[in-house]
């Protein structure tokens, strides 16, 4: 009987050790899976609702200061980055505190460590707003905007609004740590055996612009000739450039971008509804080749270094120029390459 009991006790002990080890392994596996899924969710720009403390902070501060400055969230990632930065700068310039709508928080917070508090939905509905429309360059009048509760509207993206506080804007658009870690690990793999690598992010905007630019705005988008010139500059300037391409027209890029040197990597997935990963890749490069659009602009602004952009891509009588100024759109130290307008002029 005693021998049977000892065997049973020993068997129970083995079973306990086995179950404990299995549970520990499954917990580690689940934790690793959860972490990976969390990283993927944030890179895909998933919904991230504001926390209760953020909403309470807004409500308490708004009542104390007696006013709210915000901006209407319109467009995708690049547009909303421009709107956020402009709101941040103009509210500060006019002596007010800025707040953002939940929709803007949902777009930006999964990618960046933004700090502006969020307005409760009831506040957005109940407040009597002084609506103030902005064009896309800084004007003297914007230093003297009046109103207790101001809602800015428009699609501002120009550096002229916020470049004087560039360090603060860059801090607002600091990537979450796990995004930086994943992107840097990916870029390190692209490095391979190169010893003096220089990363150049290439954003090629196509999609609806293929038809909208010539048919609506009397303009063109980047062609093969432009990309060849821009890439040639970096190949001549740096010993071992690596080009990281992101686009919403990736097949066109593969058909038209010269990769005979084996230094081009078509890395972006081009999913416009979840652009976080593509944007993070471009922004972590040393330099930038952009075509047109706010997505490429912000990639260059965050990356620093040299940015090459498509210059004079519209006809002189384009209605686009009523909304857009080249000198306000691109930093003076960036390099512009004139567009080929022959598809529009027939010359």
Q: Using the predicted structure, report yes or no on whether residue 270 has a pLDDT greater than 90.
A: no
Contact 225, 340 (CB under 8 A): yes
* Confidence grade of residue 273 (pLDDT, cut at 50, 70, 90): low
Say which residue, 127 or 57, is predicted with more confidence.
127
Equal CATH topology for 52-172 and 177-345 = yes
The model's confidence at residue 67, banded by pLDDT at 50, 70 and 90, is confident
From 246, 251, 329, select the one nearest 284 (Cα to Cα). Answer: 246
pLDDT > 70? residue 64: no
Q: Can you tell me the distance from the alpha carbon of 311 to that of 314, in angstroms, rounded to the nearest whole number? A: 9
Task: Looking at mean pLDDT, say which of 122-131, 144-153, 159-168, 259-268 comes out highest.
Answer: 159-168
The lowest-confidence range among 78-87, 237-246, 273-282 is 273-282
CATH number of 52-172: 3.40.50
Q: What is the pLDDT of residue 268?
A: 76
pLDDT (tens digit per residue) in 333-345: 999 999 999 999 9
State percent of the chain over pLDDT 90: 73
What average pLDDT is seen over the chain?
84
Q: Is 162 helix (H, G, I), strand (E, B) or coil?
A: coil
* pLDDT score at 70: 96
- Checking if the pLDDT of 35 tops 50, the result is no
The sheet carrying 307-311 orders its strands as 264-266, 240-247, 197-204, 287-289, 307-311, 335-338
Which residue do the tokens 């010993």 mark?
239
Mean pLDDT along residues 180-204: 96
**What residue spans define the domains of the chain?**
52-172, 177-345
pLDDT range class, residue 29, cuts 50, 70, 90: very low
- What is the spatial distance between Cα 148 and Cα 162, in angstroms, rounded to a whole number? 22
> At CA 33, angle to CA 32 and CA 39, rounded to 5?
90
pLDDT of 42: 38
**pLDDT for res 260:** 94
Strand-pairing partners, residue 149, are: 68
Q: What is the CATH number of domain 177-345?
A: 3.40.50
If we measure between CA atoms, which residue out of 81, 77, 225, 58 comes closest to residue 127? 58
Determine contact, residues 323/136, Cβ cutoff 8 Å. yes
In this structure, of 55-64, 84-93, 242-251, the range with the lowest mean pLDDT score is 55-64
Q: Return d(Cα 273, Cα 251) in angstroms, integer.
A: 18
H helix or E strand, kind and range, residue 3: helix 2-43
pLDDT, tens only, 208-232: 999 999 999 999 999 999 999 999 9
Residue 180 and residue 163: Cα distance in Å, rounded?
A: 24
Alpha-carbon distance values, 155 to 86, 174, 219, 258, 303 (Å) = 10, 22, 19, 34, 22
Least confident of 11-20, 91-100, 246-255: 11-20
Q: Which pLDDT band holds residue 48 (cuts at 50, 70, 90)? A: very low
pTM: 0.82
- Residue 127: per-residue pLDDT: 85
The number of angstroms, rounded, from the C-alpha of 29 to the middle of its chain's C-alpha atoms is 31
């Amino acid at each position: 009987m005693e021998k049977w009991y000892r065997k049973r006790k020993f068997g129970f002990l083995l079973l306990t050790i086995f179950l404990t080890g299995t549970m520990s392994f499954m917990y580690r596996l689940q934790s690793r899976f959860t972490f990976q899924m969390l990283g993927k969710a944030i890179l895909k720009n998933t919904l991230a609702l504001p926390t209760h403390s953020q909403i309470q902070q807004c409500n308490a501060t708004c009542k104390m200061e007696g006013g709210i400055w915000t901006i209407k969230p319109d467009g995708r990632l690049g547009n909303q980055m421009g709107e956020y930065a402009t709101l941040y700068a103009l509210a500060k310039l006019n002596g007010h505190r800025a707040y953002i709508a939940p929709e803007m928080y949902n777009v930006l917070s999964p990618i960046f460590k933004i700090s502006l508090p969020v307005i409760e939905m009831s506040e957005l509905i109940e407040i009597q707003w002084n609506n103030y429309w902005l064009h896309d360059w800084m004007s003297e009048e914007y230093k003297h905007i009046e109103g207790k509760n101001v809602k800015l509207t428009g699609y501002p993206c120009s550096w002229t609004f916020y470049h004087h506080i560039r360090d603060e804007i860059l801090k607002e658009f600091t990537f979450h740590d796990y995004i930086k870690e994943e992107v840097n690990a990916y870029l390190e793999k692209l490095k391979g055996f190169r010893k003096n690598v220089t990363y150049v992010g290439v954003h090629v905007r196509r999609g609806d612009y293929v038809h909208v630019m010539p048919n609506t705005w009397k303009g063109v988008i980047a062609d093969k000739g432009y990309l060849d010139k821009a890439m040639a500059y970096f190949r001549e300037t740096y010993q071992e450039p690596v080009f990281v391409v992101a686009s919403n027209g990736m097949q066109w890029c593969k058909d038209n971008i010269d990769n005979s040197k084996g230094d081009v990597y078509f890395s972006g997935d081009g999913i416009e509804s979840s652009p976080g990963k593509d944007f993070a890749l471009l922004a972590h490069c040393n330099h930038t080749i952009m075509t047109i659009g706010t997505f490429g602009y912000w990639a260059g602004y965050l990356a620093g270094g040299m940015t090459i952009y498509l210059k004079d891509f519209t006809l002189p009588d384009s209605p686009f120029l009523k909304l857009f100024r080249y000198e306000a759109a691109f930093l003076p130290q960036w390099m512009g390459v004139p567009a080929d307008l022959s598809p529009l002029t027939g010359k």
